[in-house]
Amino acid sequence: MPLRIDILTLFPEMFAPVLGTSIPKRAAEKGLVSYHTTQIRDFATDQHKSVDDKPFGGGPGMVMMCQTLFDAVEHAEAQDPRPARRLLMSPQGRRLDQAMVLELAAEQRLLFIAGHYEGFDERIIDGLKPEEISIGDYVLSGGELAAMVIIDAIVRTLPGALGAETGAHDESFADGLLEYPQYTRPREFRGMSVPEILLSGNHSKIAAWRLEQRKLRTEARRPDLWSAYRDRKTEQ
């Protein structure tokens, strides 16, 4: 069974260009994943099709209401008997990293809740018990872009989503080092040349050079990743 991804949103049209392009599109065509968007507003029961209201206690902005979201979640979940892991996009959530991406990619079913406006009625969190996920320490206008980022990161890890060669190579970020620098034709461009070693044909020397470059880059650019990498190496 392919991974089933449900997305609950007020803006389903935002997802079509991303899920209908490149790797996410190909993965669906290959039967590795299926995408299902649900319009939260379809579950509004009043005349104005309201999904949000002013916060109790006052304050700026609007808050997503309970009933529409509970009904939308229950409706989407009833479409497939497999239990869904519920994920709510929020800057208050646990911060996404590649380990979490791989963990989510191993699930059978994921349900993304993307809100807009100032936030969610807290009883949505208490009642539906979704895992809150953040894609970084900044605030977006809504959870849609966050959901798309996470879905893209998940889908490309599914076996068969990338070409065979790329798939194996792709594991590299999981070892905690940044990528080595890459070059292609021509050998000389505006006075800048390709490192000689890459033209040598000596594959073991090339591999050693690339590993060294990865370490140097990680140390210079991401001291946090570098110290975690070194800690793991000394433990081994």
Binding range to ligand ADE, per CB under 6 A, among 22-30, 67-75, 132-140, 176-184: 132-140
- Based on the shown chain and the rule CB under 6 A, indicate whether residue 143 belongs to the binding site for ligand ADE: yes
146 binds ligand ADE (CB under 6 A): yes
Instruction: Give dist(CA 88, CA 142) in Å, integer.
Output: 11
Among 37, 38, 134, 157, binds ligand ADE (CB under 6 A): 134
Residue 230: left (phi > 0), alpha (psi -120 to 50), or beta? alpha
Site string for ligand ADE, 63-102 (x = CB under 6 A): --------------------------xxx-----------
Q: Can you tell me the distance from the alpha carbon of 236 to that of 124, in angstroms, rounded to the nearest whole number?
A: 43
Closer residue to ligand ADE (CB): 90 or 218: 90
Helices H / strands E in the chain, number of each:
9, 10
In the list 46, 47, 78, 139, the residue contacting ligand ADE (rule: CB under 6 A) is 139
Q: Residue count at the site for ligand ADE (CB under 6 A)?
A: 11
The pair of structure tokens assigned to 20 is: 């209908």
- Decide: is 125 part of the binding site for ligand ADE (CB under 6 A): no
Sign of torsion over alpha carbons 103, 36, 7, 131: negative
CA distance 104 to 110: 8
How near is the Cβ of 79 to ligand ADE at its closest, in Å?
24
In whole angstroms, the minimum distance from the beta carbon of 151 to ligand ADE comes to 13
192 is a contact residue toward ligand ADE (CB under 6 A): no
Alpha carbons 46 and 157: distance in angstroms, whole number: 42
Task: Retrieve residue 52's tokens.
Answer: 């949000």
Q: Is 139 annotated as a binding residue?
A: yes
- The answer to whether 37 and 164 have CB atoms below 8 angstroms apart is no
The response to whether 124 counts as a known ligand-binding position is no
Q: How many Cβ atoms sit within 10 Å of the Cβ of residue 199?
A: 12
Contacting positions for ligand ADE (CB under 6 A):
89-91, 134-136, 138-140, 143, 146
Q: Which residues are annotated as a binding site for S-adenosyl-L-methionine?
A: 115, 135-140
